[in-house]
Amino acid sequence: MISDEIPDAVRRFVLTSIPSVPFLEALLLLQAMPQARWDANALARRLYLSERAGAAVLAELHAAGFAAEEAPGVVYYHPRSDDIKELVAEVKMAYASNLVGISNLIHAKTNRKAQQFADAFKLRKD
């Protein structure tokens, strides 16, 4: 499967809702274990992140509506709608069969944002 074969719904979802590969990995981990409760330390150990990065990802997942908070800093998989739950399942399948394509899609979005930020500081002759 090549990048062009990423389903349109998955492509749109990744471009609009997935800010980073660690975010996606955490989302898929929570989705695979919906009964589990995750704190920053547990997520960090599982995804080889710093505890600080784990806490940030958990906060992002909660803020984005993919996870509910059981206690401060402890979340579990609970998408805000069944449509989101179905999209996450589609992303999981696409990521399993096209890890590089999905990762490149995420990185390309990040690179575009970085370039736009850098372009804002270019000196122009008037």
Closest by CA position to 24, among listed 116, 105, 119 = 105
pLDDT at 89: 98
Q: 68-89: b or e for each residue (b if 16 or more CB lie within 10 Å)?
A: eeeeeeebbbbbeeeeeeebbe
Low-confidence stretches of the chain (pLDDT < 70) are 1-4, 109-126
Domains of the chain (ranges plus CATH)?
A: 3-119 (1.10.10.10)
Residue type at 112? Answer: R
Give phi and psi for 2, each to the nearest 5: -105, 170
How many CB atoms within 10 Å of residue 33? 13
The pLDDT value recorded for residue 108 is 87
Tokens matching residue 37 = 């409760």
* pLDDT tens sequence across 60-76: 999 999 999 999 999 99
User: Sign of torsion, CA 9 12 14 18?
Assistant: negative
**What's the pTM?**
0.83
